[in-house]
A and B are shown apart, each in its own frame.
Chain A
Amino acid sequence: MDETSYTDAERAALAAVLDTLLPRSRDGRLPGAGELGLGAEIERDVPQLAPMVKAALARLDDDAGAGGFAGLDPAGRTEALRVHAEGDPGLLPGLLFQVYTRYYVAPAVLEALDLEPRPPWPKGYAMDPTDLDTLLEPVRAGPKRYRDA
């Protein structure tokens, strides 16, 4: 197994970390990042991140004791991740970039944001016309703004 492959235990721990970073919303409309399966995408798409992430997961598991990081309750996970991040300042910025760029294109998330889960083209978006005559009235009433030259 090379250093970019994750064990099942590491995958479970990564899912727990992702669910701690972006948990399910209180109203349940927005899924957690781990339950959305972003760990598998990060493993597949960003192998260069694996050494840092795997080292962090190992440390988090060690620090968490017998049940490992995944065995902690949500408050315990948050505190463990916060403490870890203080000594590993590169971890969260790198991981959050990967999480945000995947989470906020997921159809389930877009629907929860009241967006249609589709690309902009070909449907596009309708926009209402503006009453420019009224809105521009004070500007039209103002002085000439350019210098003759």
Chain B
Amino acid sequence: MLRPVSEETVDVLIIGAGASGAAIAWSLAETRMRIVCLEQGDWMKPEDYPSTRIGWELERFGAFGLSPNGRGRREDYPVNDAASPIRISNFNAVGGSTILYAAHFPRFHPSDFRVRTLDGLADDWPIDYATLEPFYGVNARMMGVAGLAGDPAYPPKEPPLPPVPLGKLGETVARGFNALGWHWWPSDSAIATRDYEGRAGCINLGPCLMGCAQGAKGSTDVTYWPPAIRAGVELRTHCRVREITVDAAGMADGVIYHDADGRERRQKAEIVILACNGVGTPRLLLNSASKHFPDGLANSSGLVGRNLMFHPYAHLLGVFPEPLEGYKGPTGCGIVSQEFYETDLSRGFARGYSYELTRGIGPVGTALLAMSKGRMPWGDAHHDAYAEVWDRTAGMVAICEDLPEAHNTVTLDPELVDADGIPAPRIDYTLSENSRRMLDHAVARGCEVLEAAGAKESYADAPLGVAGWHLMGTARMGTDPATSVVNEWGRCHDVKNLFVVDGSVFVTCAAVNPTNTIQALALHVGDRIKKNLANLFD
């Protein structure tokens, strides 16, 4: 017997309080509709973040690890990613994966929406850069984007906050790019570089990837959620949705979820919006199979869970002769290079990649990283070897565009379940030949730039196994119901009161961090819902 919270049917039910769920909740709040968001995690407490403790680096191996499989939190769900060289890195809380993200906040390029037209690959999006441009602007204000206007790699844009400091490390690497005549620019970052909209300005703590104790990083628990809640949106935590239910006509009519005590409850709704990321959304759609939808909800195309895209990463590390103060400053934000972004087939691959500066390696990380590279001896030689690398390493990642391939999938694991007994996702993914060639190119050119910057030696790791941060493509957007799951404004072709607003809807994934585009899309969908309320289900 299901226990309803109430008999009330809410107007809008949003599943997931992360990047996209928060954005669309805020967008729709002005309608004064009754909006409820169900989130399987809880509010995070900034005082609990590792940077408040001297042993902050160690928590990467525990409660603030990248993989949900290793954290041991009830709020997370397990993922069987044994059949993938890239493992899932997500987080479940109010704010979702923005709690642990780097807040590197680039936009897509105009060409990223026209991959088929320009490069004869994959598909074009049913929308273009101009469609999202106004929502990128709104999102920049809401998330608090720091950056610098004038980047020749982009159409004009005006970040509202000044860029994050480059520091010695960033300046050193930037001079390497200059020496080669290559593009670089200060990163667009969702980091409040001064006090902004109630958030304290960044004080260069370093460990952004384990939550921001200062509250300067733009995670949605400190950006979109406070104004959305003030505007009347109800956010319920510790509510894990088991399935979306449908009525006799095949329209979504609500969800069944588990509350904090694991009890099953029901919430009815007129509109259901999925905001669960590129793994959680197909998982829930597949878990919502029914008489009307035997292959999973909204899956007449057979594409729910297919075309999973990551961004294959290469990690590069240079060892320099002088201290770089690399433990100071935002971990993943500093400078970006898009020298190799647009397609040039003479490089041996299609599409391209970005370089991003990385820093924030503390004393423990320095030792472990050097040990993994075989250059951290024990015994009498240890201290001299350590002195050669401590505060003398600069990191970069290359973030490569992945192309959609139907055989890269999210399905339901036949055995693995979460703490509420709900079938967990299974990932099957292989790295394409195009991605391998791109990674090889990125490693070779990346070592070149580090050496041009003065590195004595450099190391590379590709693909980076822990880098399954960006989960995209598994409920793709399009105008043809036979080849896509949702339409050009996120509405499921098969279920006209069911929307998807997370990275699942990506047609292609560009070569930049996706959160800014995910949120711009959520705002775009919210805008279309508001404009079409009178005939939303036609």
Which A residues contact B (CB, under 8 angstroms)? 20-23, 25-26, 30, 74, 78, 81, 92, 96-97, 100-101, 103-105, 107, 109-110, 113, 115, 117-130, 132, 135-136, 138-140, 142-149
Contacts and interface: CB of A to CB of B under 8 A. Distances in A.
A140 B56 contact: no
A82 B97 CA distance: 44
A126 B52 contact: no
B294 interface: no
Interface in B122-142: 128-129
A131 to B, nearest CB: 9
Contacts of A145: 152-153, 183, 338, 341-342
A142 B183 contact: yes
A5 B167 CA distance: 48
The main secondary structure of chain A at its interface with chain B is loop
B371 interface: yes
A105 B58 contact: yes
Contacts of A22: 378, 382-383
Contacts of B380: 23, 74, 78
A110 B363 contact: yes
B174 interface: yes
Given A105-B364, A145-B183, A149-B110, 17 more contacts: A21-B378, A23-B380, A81-B379, A97-B368, A100-B367, A104-B362, A105-B54, A105-B55, A113-B390, A121-B52, A121-B213, A127-B167, A130-B170, A136-B185, A140-B152, A145-B152, A146-B111
Nearest to A126: B204
A136 B178 CA distance: 8
Given A21-B379, A119-B52, A146-B342, A135 B174 contact: yes
A137 B328 CA distance: 25
A142 B185 CA distance: 12
Contacts of B57: 101, 104-105
Given A117-B54, A127-B329, A147-B111, A105 B214 contact: no
A53 to B, nearest CB: 15
B113 interface: yes
B171 interface: yes
6 contacts: A105-B55, A115-B327, A125-B328, A127-B167, A128-B165, A130-B170
A124 B205 contact: yes
A102 B342 CA distance: 45
B306 interface: no
Interface string B22-61: 0000000000000000000000000001011111111001
Contacts of B70: none
A138 B56 CA distance: 39
B51 A146 contact: no
A149 B58 contact: no
Nearest to B154: A146
A119 B51 contact: yes
5 A-B pairs closest in CB distance? A124-B203, A104-B363, A145-B153, A120-B205, A125-B328
Given A121-B52, A145-B341, A115 B165 contact: no
A67 B167 CA distance: 53
Contacts of A78: 379-380
Contacts of A26: 383
Contact of B114 (A121, A142, A149): A149
B109 interface: yes
Contacts of A135: 166, 171, 174-175, 178
B302 interface: no
B214 A119 contact: no
Given A146-B154, A147-B342, A138 B178 contact: yes
Contacts of A74: 380
B348 interface: no
A132 B186 contact: yes
Q: Which of A107, A115, A121, A124 has the most CB of B within 10 A?
A: A121
Interface string B373-390: 000001110110000001
Contact of B378 (A96, A105, A127, A136): A96
Nearest to B337: A139
B58 A138 contact: no
Contacts of B128: 149
Contacts of A115: 327, 363
